[in-house]
């Protein structure tokens, strides 16, 4: 039950390996969401109803102990066991699935669409990192006519700049993946910022040969408006604080559609770049994703193909980023409508292209049950998720088939990514070259 106004919610983070201090800069906020770290690793979050006042150190400790006692104890025990294992070189050998194949270099691909302020914050956070491995930054301008992006890139010196005039996030990211030189290609949104240690945590699982993709958590940097809070209630972009490992057995175990949407998103995802040249996997499907009529799900379909090819995906919540959610209700409705369209487009794609009939179970049984349950919970007062947003999801679901048809037609007209070879554009002079056909 709601204890007061749902928004705004202050967002703060604390480190519990040192004595916690009171939080005094949350006056005016009825509630504060505290993300808790232990020796730098994200453990979870607690909500504290502070009623517009500061939060004392005592109350903060009590809230953390009450909400996160087990995760904190488990991490402490795991740390002790890890120290014992490292102290005893005969404690056990590495499993056969592990290999000394740590990535030699990393490319971070940032697709942007005339959002200079977001891009500047993103690049600033990346430049502030102290990476232990070679790092390349690649910015892909998906709206070259806007003109603002090159000026931002010039502020940061050694950043590769690519133009992809064909509209669509998948086109832009594919251009970046093709132009990148790193062994690992990381996709992040232009409206995220990254903390210290993010890069090393995100690429660490690639020491195992079978891992082809690693995703991380996505946390809200602010929850000041109704739209931002509603988006978190909808599910946000993060997938929780528990690690997930999905492989071939996980892929085959589901009787309904494979829930690859639980494995993260390309707002914060790393890929072994060799997968893009594997005919079983390939690049992002350009008909799916933002900027196309389908609206999203290019990442979930790529995850599907990785798993179907017999590889492993790791979701590691310790490799988190901060995301700036949309602040306006109109933008939120458009986003949720697009997510619903894209989800249906993804299911239809796995049905038509992969012959996976489990998609029919999702479309004809699971999704109607989800919407019916949400509506019932709202009518009984057990949920604060608004009925108009549920209706928006239903309308998006119904619009999915037509959206996919329109997107496929557009890709046939624009051409697939594999037919072009994107290249860097100098930002020292007026931009005249593009990656178009």
CATH number of the domain that 248 lies in?
Answer: 3.90.550.10
Q: Evaluate whether residue 405 is within a structural domain.
A: no
Whether residue 366 is predicted with pLDDT greater than 90 in this model: the reply is yes
Residues 67, 153, single domain; the answer is: no
The answer to whether residue 33 sits within a structural domain is yes
The torsion angle over the Cα atoms of residues 113, 396, 1 and 235, rounded to 10 degrees, is -40
Residue 19 shares a structural domain with residue 127 = no
Q: How far is CA 433 from CA 124, 165, 421, 423, in A?
A: 26, 10, 12, 9
CA 162, 168, 173, 175 torsion-angle sign: negative
Same domain, 301 and 203: yes
Predicted confidence at residue 79, as pLDDT, reads 60
Q: Are residues 69 and 148 in the same domain?
A: no
Q: Tell which residue, 437, 171, 146, has the closest CA to residue 291.
A: 171
Q: Does a structural domain hold residue 94?
A: no
Model confidence band, residue 249 (pLDDT cutoffs 50, 70, 90): very high
Are residues 293 and 400 in contact, defined by beta-carbon separation less than 8 angstroms?
no
If asked whether residues 79 and 142 sit together in one domain, one would say no
Per-residue pLDDT at 77: 74
Q: What is the pLDDT of residue 385?
A: 86
Residue 168, Ramachandran bin (φ over 0: left; ψ between -120 and 50: alpha; else beta):
left
The answer as to whether 359 is a domain residue is no
**Residue-level pLDDT at 157:** 87
**pLDDT at residue 100 in the model:** 42
Dump pLDDT digits (tens) for 34-71. 999 988 889 999 999 999 999 999 999 999 999 999 88
The 3-class SS string of the chain reads CCCCCCCCEEEEEEECCCCCCCECCCCCCCEEEEEEEECCEEEEEEEECCCCCCECHHHHHHHHHHHHHHHHHHHHHHHHHHHHHHHCCCCCCCCCCECCCCCCCEEEEEEECCCHHHHHHHHHHHHCCCCCCCEEEEEEECCHHHCCHHHHHHCCCCCEEEECCCCCHHHHHHHHHHHCCCCEEEEEECCEECCCCHHHHHHHHHHECCEEEEEEEEEECCECCHHHHHHHHHCCCCCCCCCEEECHHHHHHCCCCCCHHHHCCCCEEEEEHHHHHCCCCCCCCCCCCCCCCCCCCHHHHHHHHHHHCCCEEEEEEEEEEEECCCCCHHHHHHHHHHHHHHHHHHHHHHHHHHCCCHHHHHHHHHHHHHHHHHHHHHHCCCCCCCHHHHHHHHHHHHHHHHHHHHHHHHHHHHCCHHHCCCCECCCCCCCCCCCCC
Q: Domain check: are 62 and 141 in the same one?
A: no
Choose the final residue of a domain: 83, 116, 141: 83
Residues 41 and 132 in one domain: no
Task: Examine residue 403 and state whether it is found in any structural domain, yes or no.
Answer: no
Number of domains observed in the structure of the chain: 2
Beta strand pairing call for 211-220 and 312-323 = parallel
Q: Is the separation of the CB atoms in 99 and 209 below 8 Å?
A: yes
Residues 314, 187 share a domain? yes
Last residue of a domain, one of 276, 294, 327: 327
Instruction: Give 72's pLDDT tier (boundaries 50, 70, 90).
Output: confident
34 vs 20: CA distance, rounded Å: 12
* pLDDT average, residue stretch 251-264: 96
**71 and 151, same domain (yes or no):** no
- How far apart are alpha carbons 324 and 30 in whole angstroms? 20
Q: What is the CA radius of gyration of the chain?
A: 22
Q: Does residue 372 have a pLDDT over 80?
A: yes
Domain boundary among 50, 83, 116: 83
Is the pLDDT at 93 greater than 90, yes or no? no
> Which pLDDT value is given to residue 417?
84
The residue with greater pLDDT, 74 or 27, is 27
CA distance 296 to 339: 6
Q: Are 75 and 114 found together in one domain?
A: no
Q: Is residue 195 part of a domain?
A: yes
User: Do residues 135 and 103 lie in contact, with contact meaning Cβ atoms separated by under 8 Å?
Assistant: no
Q: Is residue 346 part of a domain?
A: no
Give the model's pLDDT for residue 102: 52
Q: Are residues 79 and 110 in the same domain?
A: no
99: pLDDT strictly greater than 50: no
Q: Do 62 and 113 have their domain in common?
A: no
pLDDT in tens, 288-331: 999 999 999 999 999 999 999 999 999 999 999 999 999 999 99
The domain in which residue 45 lies consists of: 9-83
Q: Is residue 243 part of a domain?
A: yes
């Amino acid at each position: 039950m709601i204890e007061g106004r749902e928004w705004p919610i202050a967002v703060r983070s604390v480190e519990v390996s040192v004595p916690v201090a009171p939080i005094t800069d949350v006056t005016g906020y009825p509630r504060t969401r505290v993300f808790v770290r232990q020796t730098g690793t994200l453990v979870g979050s607690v909500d504290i109803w502070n009623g517009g006042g500061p939060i004392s150190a005592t109350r903060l400790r009590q809230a953390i102990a009450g909400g996160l006692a087990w995760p904190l104890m488990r991490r402490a025990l795991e740390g002790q066991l890890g120290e014992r294992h490292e102290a005893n070189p005969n404690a056990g050998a590495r499993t056969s699935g592990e290999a000394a194949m740590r990535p030699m270099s990393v490319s971070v691909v940032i697709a942007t669409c005339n959002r200079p302020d977001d891009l500047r914050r993103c690049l600033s956070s990346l430049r502030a990192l102290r990476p232990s491995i070679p790092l390349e930054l690649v910015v892909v301008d998906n709206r070259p006519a806007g003109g603002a992006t090159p000026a931002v890139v010039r502020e940061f010196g050694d950043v590769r700049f690519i133009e992809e005039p064909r509209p669509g996030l998948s086109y832009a990211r594919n251009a970046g993946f093709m132009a990148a030189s790193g062994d690992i290609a990381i996709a992040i949104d232009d409206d995220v910022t990254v903390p210290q240690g993010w890069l090393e945590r995100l690429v660490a699982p690639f020491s195992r040969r079978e891992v082809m993709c690693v995703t991380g958590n996505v946390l809200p940097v602010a929850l000041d408006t109704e739209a931002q809070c509603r988006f978190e209630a909808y599910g946000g972009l993060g997938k929780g604080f528990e690690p997930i490992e999905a492989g071939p057995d996980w892929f085959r175990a589901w009787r309904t559609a494979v829930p690859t949407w639980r494995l993260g998103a390309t707002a914060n995802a790393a890929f072994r770049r060799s997968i893009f040249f594997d005919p079983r996997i390939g690049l992002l499907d350009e008909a799916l994703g933002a900027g196309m009529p389908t609206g999203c799900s290019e990442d979930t379909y790529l995850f599907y193909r990785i798993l179907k090819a017999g590889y492993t995906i790791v979701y590691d919540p310790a490799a988190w980023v901060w995301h700036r959610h949309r602040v306006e209700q109109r933008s939120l409705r458009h986003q949720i409508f697009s997510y619903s369209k894209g989800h249906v487009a993804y299911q239809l794609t796995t049905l038509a292209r992969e012959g996976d009939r489990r998609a029919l179970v999702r479309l004809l049984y699971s999704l109607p049950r989800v919407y019916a349950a949400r509506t019932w919970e709202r009518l009984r007062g057990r949920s604060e998720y608004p009925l108009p947003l549920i209706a928006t999801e239903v309308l998006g679901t119904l619009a999915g088939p037509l959206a996919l048809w329109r997107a496929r037609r557009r890709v046939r007209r624009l051409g697939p990514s594999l037919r072009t070879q994107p290249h860097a554009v100098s930002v020292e002079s007026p931009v005249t070259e593009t990656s178009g056909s």
